[in-house]
Amino acid sequence: MAWLVVCRDVAHSGALRRCLLERHLTYIESVVDRIAVAGPLAKTAGGNFAGSFFVYLTDDRAVAESLLQNDPYFEAGMYKEVEFHASRAAAGSWVGGATWR
Q: Can you say whether the dihedral through the CA atoms of 58, 38, 53, 71 is positive or negative?
A: positive
- What is the tens place of the pLDDT at every residue in 46-88? 888 999 999 999 999 999 999 999 999 999 999 999 999 999 9
Q: Which domain holds residue 46?
A: 2-89
Number of domains in the chain: 1
In a domain, residue 100? The reply is no
CA angle 41–14–28, rounded 5-degree value: 55
Asked if residue 94 belongs to a domain, the reply is no
- pTM, two decimals, is 0.92
From the list 84, 64, 90, the residue with the least C-alpha distance to 99 is: 90
The C-alpha atoms of residue 53 and residue 29 are separated, in whole angstroms, by 15
Distance of CA 17 to the CA centre of its chain: 14
Query: 95 in a domain, yes or no?
Result: no
CATH number at residue 16: 3.30.70.1060
